[in-house]
Amino acid sequence: MRRNGIAAAGIALLLFSTTAVLADGSGDPKATSSDAGEYRDAQGNPTFNIEKDGTVDWYTGVGYLRYTANCMQCHGPDGLGSTWAPALVDSLKTLSYSQVLDTVTNGKKNVNAAQELVMPSFGTNPNVMCYIDAIYVYLRARSDGAVGRGRPQKIAPKPPGYAAQEDACMGS
Ligand code: HEC
């Protein structure tokens, strides 16, 4: 009896930890490659990278700033949600990278007699679209519990070539 109880607890623990790993709409967030400071997971989706000393990759740092400037007024500080827009730390547990990209580009509406939820479309806004991977990576790190609230304390240096790429995207 006792043995079975322990075995059952072990199985429950195993199931629980499997679920916890999969609670990311884009799958395993582990970085498997990087190009000019932008990390990607095994599926090729943008992801975060955190050094042993807590230093976050450049994109995660940029994502924090861009999220705060463009999304926070509706989605709340640190992706935690507000009364009029969902907590993106929760949304990213099921939404994939391409779904996030689609929603930010094209917007989304859920308007009826009881509520008026409108996510604007940012497809033509360079302040958002030039940084969408950074914003995604930051929110992914928040959703996976890899980055806490507030501005990450230690951020990796700006990758070589980043500034030129940014200028080209912003059209300056
Ligand atoms: C003016 C308010 C507002 C701003 C600014 C805003 N959003 Fe939203 N967003 C919403 C609302 C409201 C919804 C819910 C829409 C719905 O339910 O159809 C939403 C939904 C979303 C969703 C889908 C969430 C889900 O669970 O389905 C994503 C992803 C998202 N927003 C990302 C962003 C990002 C990234 C930014 C910043 C670049 C941003 N939003 C800026 C109001 C906003």
Q: Report which protein residue has its CA nearest ligand 1's atom 32.
A: 104
Residue 22 is predicted with a pLDDT of 61
Residue at token pair 């409108």 = 118
Residue 172 is predicted with a pLDDT of 73
Pocket flag, ligand 1, residue 72 (CB < 6 Å):
no
H-only helix segments in the chain: 2-22, 58-70, 72-75, 88-91, 97-106, 126-129, 132-143, 162-170
3-state secondary structure at position 122: coil
Ligand 1 centroid to residue 4 C-alpha, Å: 47
Mean pLDDT of the chain: 91
CB burial class (10 A; 0-12, 13-18, 19+) of residue 9? exposed
Q: Provide CB contacts within 8 A for 15, sequence distance 6+.
A: none
**8 A C-beta contact, residue 108 and residue 95:** no
Residue 1 is predicted with a pLDDT of 47
- Residue 41: half-sphere exposure toward Cβ, Cα within 13 Å: 18
Low pLDDT (below 50) residues in the chain: 1, 19
Pocket flag, ligand 1, residue 65 (CB < 6 Å):
no
Give the predicted TM-score (pTM) of the model: 0.89
Residue 3 is predicted with a pLDDT of 59
Altogether, the residues listed in the chain come to a count of 172
Q: Report which protein residue has its CA nearest ligand 1's atom 22.
A: 103
Residue 11 is predicted with a pLDDT of 56
- Closest to 71 in 3D by CA, of 55, 91, 54: 91
Ligand 1 centroid to residue 13 C-alpha, Å: 34
